[in-house]
Each structure stands twice: as structure tokens, then as C-alpha cells.
Structure 1
């Protein structure tokens, strides 16, 4: 059975058999997320939990060049400190909702998985990546913004302190082999479709309550992490002249002249 009733222009949601497919569908922008797409992802999570027909969720980017390349820079126009804090809280809420989905969530990753895309992938349960995939938070080189404490906690859980601070300070991207070595990527492959199908076949043959219990117990064990109050830090970065420079430079394909203020 295929049901595409929830399809929108930029986020396609359809039920195929027992798998709810969620496709980030902005290939011309490397599937960069709009605010509406974040809302659509939350709605897809609600749909997954509301239907006994859904046994797994599959997240994938369209076009083969990227999973999700962060948030669309146009969404940051006119940002200041309070709007930056509100934005990061929206991302936190989206990620928390994805973490709480009762059925296994699988990501099929092609190309770039960076910024908000990395946070989305980190909230999934199983990550299948093409050998050419790349992962990271290059924000110190691009926009000059920051992550929330919750996003840092999730990244720290998967990559450890050393790789997390390395990704932030050097803005380098990890390749699929390194992401697999540190345990973030479950499987690397040259055939994402076939490997993802194998993973989903295994999940659909297993006990739903066992998997749901494992997900929820792990979620609760990690729930306290990232709850520290860092609103002042986030507001200071998003309200800075440097962040405005970063957005302007990224939009014009220029290089930011960082001033540290």
C-alpha cells in the first residue's frame, strides 16, 4: 500500500507497506531545511505514532547529493539574539520529537549531512551512509552561529568530546569511514537503496515492543543531558555583528570578515 496524502512541495511523506517514508525534497538547495519542513517533520512523527500500520520510519534526502545540508540560510534574515534563542529551541523540540518516535527511525544518507541535517540524523536509530557521505558542523567557517546545549549533548553522545570540539573548531567534515569507526554510522555502502532495504526488512521482522522499549529506555537515560541554560550564550552569538556578516557572506558567496563581536 502506498499513501502520499501528506505530501508537500519540500517534504514528501508517504506510507509504503509498513514504512513511513519522509523525503527532504529540495535537491536544488541540497535539501536545506525551511521552518515549514521542520514543522512537517514533527507532523510525520505524530503520524508515525498515531498509526499501528507504521512499523518503521525512513528519512532520506532527494537528489542523491545530500541528506540535509543544514537550515536554509534565507530563514536567518533579520535574526537577532532572541530570535536565535527561539530558533534553537524550535530545533531542540523537533529533535526531541524525533527521538521519541516509538518505532525505529532509519536514515539513508547520500552526500552532505551537515548542520541541522546532522542533528536530524543523530536523532535516528540506524544510519546507513553512502561511502561518499560527509558529516559535520562547519558553522565556524560559514555562518558564525552556534548549536544549542541539547544539540551539543546529542553530538557528544555519538562522537565524543574530542571529535565534537574538533568538528566545531576546525569546521572539518568527517568522511563516512570515520563516522562509521566512531559508531555514528551503522553501515557504509555503495548501494544505499539495497542496504537500507536489508535493514528495514530486519526491523519489520522483529518484536515491536522490544524495539520500542529499548528506544524509550535509552531516551530516558539520556534525557537529562543538554538541559543547562545557555540562552545567554546563544543570544550573544545570534545577535552579533559576526553572525550578520556570516549570513550576508554566505548568501553572496563571499568570505566573512570575522571581527569577534
Structure 2
């Protein structure tokens, strides 16, 4: 893991995950614009390592996450990763990452410009704040692409941020939600063209705030999450059935072939 202490610098954890530190702010850029910043295993591993580093770093007050290229924050996951790993164990590993992001002592900000779907939306909903450009869109269109299902923790977090109605629309109608609607339900702290100015304003506020207030508030909110967003006991068995079933197999085949899937269980 790259040393994050010292003077402002840019360090490449991988070619696809750029980390910059300056004045108590760590900025992470998802740098795979050719595939709309879809997350690879290496990118997720870099985030795991970064969260472990930040968990005890009192010099960092704010974590900013953003996507390169102007088309996407992150458009899901690199699907080929699911073919080389146990899908259920991979989901568990991702859920552990999302929990790390949510429990960081720093204030985390997702800066969204473009598409924010799948794994990208999971990361964004586990941040403290989300800001977006007006053209940004959000969702989990897996019902028409891959034929899998979300882990309960990711689903519950989406419902907590976007509300049950928009979460149902995202998943049960496979529709993307525009930034204006997301802002209307409180999922976004800001929508507009001046995103960078708003990010700078929030950072300036956080840098002079009481660390006690921030730390205790985040601890209280983590307890709330633990109380209401725990996964059911049969989660792994249900996900394993889905990831080894015919719909997901067809979804992956069609995705890699750049075709529309013909799901066996389609109504």
C-alpha cells in the first residue's frame, strides 16, 4: 500500500485507481474511462487497502471519490471477475469493503458526473454525502442485464438513501433515476453545474469542525445501520443459488458477447 503521509502527492495504487492527498483531503479517482470506470478486482483491493490505512489516520479529514472521463462515476463491476472467483465469497468481500467505507472516521463524499450504477452506486450509497451533475443517473438495472440479485446490505442501503419507492423502481423496473429525482428524495446533497465549488465548500466546513462531533455522529449512525440493515441468516445460500443458476449464466454470456440476454425465467 502506498504511503499516504507527507506532502501533497499523487500515487498510483494501480493504473485504474489514482490517489491524491493534499491538506487533509484524500481524493480517489476511478481511472478506467474506456469501460466507464467499471470496478475490477484490483480497484476494489486498492479501496480495501486505502480504507484500512485511513481508519487510523487522524490527519485526513475528508475522503473524496470520483470517476474519470466525465461519463461515469462507476458503471458496475468488471463481469469477468465473477468468472474467476466464487461469486458469493466475492459478494461478501465487497460487502466488507462497503462497510469499511461507511465506517471510516473521515467524512466521505461521492462526486458523481454521469452514470452511477451497480457497484458504483453501492460505493456511493455507503459514502456520507453525494453530489452530482444534472445529467447523472443512478440505478441497478441487473434485471435486464445480468439476472443476479443484490446482497441484502446493498439493497437496504439503497432503500435508506433513495427511499423504498425509487429502490423498487430501480430494481423491479430496471429504470435509471435522474439526478433531479434523487435530489428530491434527499439522496443527493447537491445537484448542479457547480459541483466542484460545492465540494470545496463542504471540505472547508469539515476542516474546521469538531472531530468529536463528526466521530461520535458517525459511530451513532453505524449503530443505526447495524440495527436495521443486517443480512438474513440464509443470505449466502440464496445468493449461491442465484449465482449458479441459469439466469446469471445467461446474463454473463450475453454481456460478454455484447448481446441482449434471453433469461430462462422471464415471465
Same fold by TM-score, threshold 0.5 exceeded?
A: yes
| Superposition deviation, residue 221 in structure 1 | 1.3
Classify 1:152/1:226 alpha carbon distance in 2 versus 1 (closer, same or farther; 3 Å). Answer: farther
Q: Deviations over 1:192-245 (max 9, x none)?
A: 222211121111121122111111111111113232121222111110111111
Superposition TM-score, scaled by structure 1 size? 0.94
Superposition TM-score, scaled by structure 2 size? 0.92
2:174 to 171, 174, 179: 171
| Superposition deviation, residue 78 in structure 1 | 5.5
Classify 1:188/1:242 alpha carbon distance in 2 versus 1 (closer, same or farther; 3 Å). Answer: same
Q: Deviations over 1:26-57 (max 9, x none)?
A: 11111100111111112111222232221110
What is the CA–CA distance in structure 1 between the aligned matches of 2:168 and 2:230, rounded to whole Å?
16
What is the CA–CA distance in structure 2 between the aligned matches of 1:51 and 1:95, rounded to whole Å?
18
> What's 2:245 paired with?
240
Secondary structure, counterpart of 1:108 in structure 2: strand
What is the CA–CA distance in structure 2 between the aligned matches of 1:7 and 1:257, rounded to whole Å?
38
Task: Indicate if the aligned counterparts of 1:20 and 1:48 stay in contact, CA closer than 8 A.
Answer: no
Structure 2: 5+ residue stretches without partners:
1-6
> What's 1:126 paired with?
129
What is the CA–CA distance in structure 2 between the aligned matches of 1:178 and 1:159, rounded to whole Å?
9
1:226 to 225, 230, 233: 230
> What's 2:52 paired with?
46
What is the CA–CA distance in structure 2 between the aligned matches of 1:223 and 1:238, rounded to whole Å?
26
What is the CA–CA distance in structure 2 between the aligned matches of 1:53 and 1:8, rounded to whole Å?
23
| Superposition deviation, residue 6 in structure 1 | 5.1
What is the CA–CA distance in structure 2 between the aligned matches of 1:47 and 1:20, rounded to whole Å?
11
| Superposition deviation, residue 165 in structure 1 | 1.8
Secondary structure, counterpart of 1:150 in structure 2: helix
1:194 and 2:200 are equivalent in the alignment: no
What is the CA–CA distance in structure 2 between the aligned matches of 1:227 and 1:240, rounded to whole Å?
21
What is the CA–CA distance in structure 2 between the aligned matches of 1:226 and 1:66, rounded to whole Å?
30
> What's 1:259 paired with?
264
Q: Deviations over 1:95-134 (max 9, x none)?
A: 0010110010011101011001111000101111001100
Task: Indicate if the aligned counterparts of 1:242 and 1:258 stay in contact, CA closer than 8 A.
Answer: yes
Q: Which moved more, 1:131-140 or 1:236-245?
A: 236-245
> What's 1:183 paired with?
186
1:8 and 2:14 are equivalent in the alignment: yes
| Superposition deviation, residue 141 in structure 1 | 0.7
CA RMSD of the aligned region, Å?
1.5
What is the CA–CA distance in structure 2 between the aligned matches of 1:226 and 1:114, rounded to whole Å?
22
Aligned residues: 258
Moved over 4 A (4+): none
What is the CA–CA distance in structure 2 between the aligned matches of 1:219 and 1:185, rounded to whole Å?
20
1:161 and 2:164 are equivalent in the alignment: yes
Q: Which moved more, 1:108-117 or 1:187-196?
A: 187-196
Higher relative contact order (CA 8 A, sep 6+): 1
What is the CA–CA distance in structure 2 between the aligned matches of 1:5 and 1:65, rounded to whole Å?
23
1:58 to 64, 77, 101: 64
